[in-house]
Structure 1
Amino acid sequence: MSIRVTLDRVLLDRRMSLTELSERVGVTLANLSILKTGKAKAIRFSTLEALCRELGCQPGDILTFDTEGDGAAERVAAE
């Protein structure tokens, strides 16, 4: 997967638990856990907006693009 979720790092920096974030943004603990572990296939912009608002961060603080291991860099180099 080339999109990495760094929610755990942001939570640690803010000294906030996943449970507290769940209560603040109105997203279930189960759904935030799926996002945090990188198992989510999608995220709604409204959820991303709520997370950024409560964490005082930008989307790029939670989501990063990583070409390592997904073959994208090799495909680009071959073109």
Structure 2
Amino acid sequence: MIKLKLAELLARRRLSIVELSDRTGISVRDLEVLRDQKALALRLKTIDCLCRCLNCQPSDLIEYVEDAD
């Protein structure tokens, strides 16, 4: 399973979804979908935008976690 670590990054940087939206131009709703692990797909352009804004690598944002099954 792919896990998005947006919530952890935002918490570490003390940044809100609204602030991130203002900085990136990505809608609050789309960021909430990513934060809440509801996304079915993620564009490379979005990953690039988030990494630029959060000054991180894609691996800081995305993690592969094996299913418990």
**TM-score with structure 2 setting the length:** 0.94
Paired residues in the alignment total: 69
Structure 1 residues not aligned, in runs of 5+? 72-79
Structure 2 residues not aligned, in runs of 5+? none
Residue equivalent to 1:16: 15
Identity over aligned pairs, percent:
38
- Aligned-pair distance for 1:18? 0.7
**TM-score with structure 1 setting the length:** 0.83
Which structure: larger Rg? 1
4+ residue runs over 3 A deviation? none
- What are the Cα deviations for residues 37-62 of structure 1, in whole angstroms up to 9, with x where unaligned? 00000111111101000001011111
Distance 2:25 2:47 in 1: 12
Q: Output the aligned Cα RMSD.
A: 0.9
- Three-state SS of the structure 2 residue aligned to 1:16 is coil
